[in-house]
Amino acid sequence: MTPEMSLQTQKIIGADIIMAFDQCTSDSCTRAEVQQVMIRTHRWLKQSHAYHQQFPTSRYGAQQALFGIVQGGIYEDLRRESAQFVAAMDTDGIAIGGETIGFDMVKTVEIIRWIRDFLPANKPRYTMGVGMSPQDLLDVVAEGIDMFDCVAPTRNARHGALYSGEIVRDGHWLKFVSPHENGRIQIKKACYAQDMAPIMPSCECYTCSHYSRATLHHLFKQKANLFTALASIHNVHVLHDVCAKMRALIMST
Ligand SMILES: [Zn+2]
């Protein structure tokens, strides 16, 4: 695959936001490898950008926003160099990628702080792969991030890990407090077999309005397809709710 082929595919899909072709670096790479990959990613961004300027719309005629991706692994100087390079390309938005992002939240926040001064204030900032837990969204938005995406909410749901806690005010910001490890209950545990409470008492999703933990425990044990749908509805709803509360707080201040 080439950068041009990647862009062509995204134009056929007709996505509103399309990503420059990049290479994600693993945390186990050496500095020399990370640097080499970063240089390749920058070269591919130039090619992606040139192709997008030539063909700025999707196959269906709609304008598409192109985002460049900052790489550089866990190396401060490389991250800064990459952020400056991507910002100079004047893409519609800037993404921050790499294995660390969303996986190690302490490091994710550190990386955002390293490069924040290089990111244009008027363009959306997107951390790729953030969303393992509701708190992660709060942590990156507090650092000035606008967008994120992650497979974890539905993957956690399929495996019976359901977000349970409360979104509460914490000084000027919000936090997700939970008595459960990682803010999730493991619905397969025997302690939920007769628990008639909803997954998360304050949640207004369809699942919490209609099903108890006991029913969900039973559906999980039966490997019922219905469980996957109900669990995913809940986990995605919690993240939407976190976003709605962050948005309301930002708009009010
Ligand atoms: Zn719910």
Confidence (pLDDT) at 27: 82
Look over the chain and give the mean of its residue pLDDT values, rounded to a whole number: 97
What's the CA-to-centroid distance between 50 and ligand 1, angstroms? 45
Q: Is the pLDDT of residue 188 over 90?
A: yes
What's the CA-to-centroid distance between 4 and ligand 1, angstroms? 42
Residues 122-147 have a mean pLDDT of: 97
What's the CA-to-centroid distance between 253 and ligand 1, angstroms? 28
Q: Is the pLDDT of residue 185 over 90?
A: yes
Confidence (pLDDT) at 163: 98
Q: Is the pLDDT of residue 247 over 90?
A: yes
**Phi, psi dihedral angles at 168 (to 5 degrees):** -125, 160
Residues 234-241 have a mean pLDDT of: 98
Please give the share of the chain, as a percent, with pLDDT higher than 90: 96
Residues 77-88 have a mean pLDDT of: 98
Confidence (pLDDT) at 93: 98
Confidence (pLDDT) at 25: 85
The full 3-state SS of the chain, as one line of letters, equals CCHHHHHHHHHHHCCCEEECCCCCCCCCCCHHHHHHHHHHHHHHHHHHHHHHHHCCECCCCCECEEEEEECCCCCHHHHHHHHHHHHHCCCCEEEECCCCCCCCHHHHHHHHHHHHHHCCCCCCEEEECCCCCHHHHHHHHHCCCCEEECCHHHHHHHCCEEECCEEEEECCEEEEECCCHHHEEECCCHHHCCCCCCCCCCCCCHHHHHCCHHHHHHHHHCCCHHHHHHHHHHHHHHHHHHHHHHHHHHHHC
Amino acid of residue 121: A
Cα 239 to Cα 18: distance, rounded to the nearest angstrom: 23
What's the CA-to-centroid distance between 249 and ligand 1, angstroms? 22
What's the CA-to-centroid distance between 16 and ligand 1, angstroms? 29
pLDDT in tens, 213-227: 999 999 999 999 999
pTM (2 decimals)?
0.93
Band (14; pLDDT cuts 50, 70, 90): very high
What's the CA-to-centroid distance between 83 and ligand 1, angstroms? 38
What's the CA-to-centroid distance between 207 and ligand 1, angstroms? 5
Q: Is the pLDDT of residue 253 over 90?
A: no
Tokens representing residue 37 in the block: 């990959």
What's the CA-to-centroid distance between 201 and ligand 1, angstroms? 8
C-beta of residue 34 within 8 angstroms of C-beta of residue 100 = no
What's the CA-to-centroid distance between 206 and ligand 1, angstroms? 7
Q: Is the pLDDT of residue 70 over 90?
A: yes
What's the CA-to-centroid distance between 236 and ligand 1, angstroms? 9
Band (26; pLDDT cuts 50, 70, 90): confident
What's the CA-to-centroid distance between 91 and ligand 1, angstroms? 37
Residue where the block lists tokens 């961004």: 45
Residue where the block lists tokens 């029913």: 215
Q: Is the pLDDT of residue 30 over 90?
A: yes
Q: Is the pLDDT of residue 233 over 90?
A: yes
